[in-house]
Amino acid sequence: MGKFEGILLVSDIDATLFNREHHVSEENAQAIEYFKSEGGLFSVASGRMRDAVGNYLNELKINAPAIIHNGAKIYDFENNVTLYEKSIEEERKNVIRRVYETQPQFGLEIYADEHIYVLRECFETERLKSKNYDVTYYMPHEVWDKPWTKVLIIGHEKELDRFEEIYRNEYDTGYAVRSGKRYLDMVANGVSKGNGVKRIAEYFNINRENIYAVGDNMNDLEMIQYSGHGFAVKNGVEALKQAADAVVPSNDESVIAYIIDKIKNV
């Protein structure tokens, strides 16, 4: 029996597993391989879409299904199958119509069937043009009738900070979470990275006290709260660090290797 048998380690990707160069450090990569060789299950939980995770599988080195779209989908890359998916409630599409009509300063992106539909372009839209994603730079009318996995409301940090409270009080009582300084993510109610971790743990019959999770932003909150051992990286937002069991080294300090070393010595 391996030293890490029955242990699940889940990491956020951006600004956690990835360093500032958007890569997995060699120290992290070696530690993950050691963790898996001793029976551990390693996965990621991200706001990214399927292809934005799948394109990095060689670096991520996961051996368990991935939590994507902030928990709206759990995807088994080994077998190319969706294990879980929940779409945004139909009535909440009217929230996005209203944001579009009343808040012209914000970009809006609709994620449906792993395709991105740009309802309104903004300063961040250019990032999509350098990626190998399926993107339509306008919103065909029929997309309003499709199931939506996620919506991104995109703005400059201070503008989005001001709007977030208004959004929650006046626009939408459903679940939405900041995944970064410039992103407010709308997903279905009941969706979170925390619930995604719970589903994976149940799938592999792993006890909650044997779950380790680490992240940097507020979309990681439920995940670190649910896990038996929830960590926030040093470069994470203050509210997450306050909620975590412990603050661990930054994403530029091979934090996954640090955590695996801690697990090894428990």
Q: Residue 125: is its pLDDT beyond 90?
A: yes
Confidence band (pLDDT; 50, 70, 90) for 1?
confident
**Containing domain of residue 132, as a range?**
90-186
Q: Is 112 inside any structural domain?
A: yes
This prediction's pTM: 0.95
- Domain tally for the chain? 2
Report pLDDT digits (tens) over 25-63: 999 999 999 999 999 999 999 999 999 999 999 999 999
Identify the domain boundary among 159, 186, 213. 186
Domain containing residue 258: CATH number: 3.40.50.1000
Q: Is 243 inside any structural domain?
A: yes
Q: Is 250 inside any structural domain?
A: yes
Domain containing residue 106: CATH number: 3.30.1240.10
Q: Is 176 inside any structural domain?
A: yes
Can you give the pLDDT at residue 130? 85
What is the secondary structure of the chain as a DSSP string? --TTTT-EEEE-IIIIIS-TTSS--HHHHHHHHHHHHTT-EEEEB-SS-HHHHHTTHHHH---SPEEEGGGTEEEETTTTEEEEE-PPPGGGHHHHHHHHHH-TTSEEEEEETTEEEEEE--TTGGGGGGS---EESS--GGGGGSPPSEEEEE--HHHHHHHHHHIIIII--S-EEEEETTEEEE--TT--HHHHHHHHHHHTT--GGGEEEEESSGGGHHHHHHSSEEEEETTS-HHHHHHSSEEE--GGG-HHHHHHHHHHT-
